[in-house]
Chain A
Amino acid sequence: EDKVVQSPLSLVVHEGDTVTLNCSYEVTNFRSLLWYKQEKKAPTFLFMLTSSGIEKKSGRLSSILDKKELFSILNITATQTGDSAVYLCAVPRTSSGSARQLTFGSGTQLTVLP
């Protein structure tokens, strides 16, 4: 059974700190890994990673994948209070159909204090 594990479960930092969120996975026939940010409403898409060692970057957020060690990290530099959210990691599940169901981790609750 596919598995996605995120750590830490929660994290409290002060504005300006840098944080690293972890996601490890066990899936059959890995294709990609996705990161989402969920504030009080629906998750918003951040990154999709398919290749090892290639960093994806968007502003202060960046992410990288290690397919050998089966994990990904999400970095946020110079954190702001607006970064407070649950960060979700997901991996498309192996499926015989054309739709890929996502297996989600439990998320990391990040709280950034002013």
Chain B
Amino acid sequence: SQTIHQWPATLVQPVGSPLSLECTVEGTSNPNLYWYRQAAGRGLQLLFYSVGIGQISSEVPQNLSASRPQDRQFILSSKKLLLSDSGFYLCAWGPDQETQYFGPGTRLLVL
């Protein structure tokens, strides 16, 4: 069966520091991969999606970037975090064009 992993589970970082969040999927090949952010009390906002290695599409302009160095690995990065980057970051994978399954998420607090 397929599983999706994210780490770390929780992260506290100072403003201006770099960020790297990792997401990996097991048990499937060539999945669609997604990064979402959920700010406190708000809905899910799609940040990036990828249909294959090295293929990244950005939904919203921001100081975050994403990379997909391997088929089942999706990385979310920032060179300098802002206070507004705090939130709950969710990675999701999709076996097809319709369904998405979410990872456990990373809670990021930028101080």
> Which residues of A pack against B, CB within 8 Å?
31-32, 34, 36, 41-45, 48, 50, 88, 90, 92, 97-102, 104-107
Contacts and interface: CB of A to CB of B under 8 A. Distances in A.
A99 B90 contact: no
Given A42-B103, A99-B32, A92 B51 contact: no
B43 A99 contact: no
B74 interface: no
Q: Interface majority SS on A: helix, strand, loop or mixed?
A: loop
B7 interface: no
A45 B101 contact: yes
Contacts of B99: 34, 45, 48
Contact of B98 (A31, A42, A44, A104): A31
Contacts of A34: 98-100
B97 interface: yes
Nearest to B50: A99
Interface in B51-87: 51, 57, 59
Given A42-B103, A48-B99, A100-B94, A105 B51 contact: no
Interface of B: 32, 34, 42-44, 46, 49-51, 57, 59, 90, 94, 97-105
- With a 10 A CB-CB cut-off, give which of A34, A41, A105 has the most chain B CB atoms: A41
Contacts of B105: 41-42
8 contacts: A36-B102, A41-B105, A42-B90, A97-B57, A98-B97, A99-B57, A101-B59, A102-B44
B97 A92 contact: yes
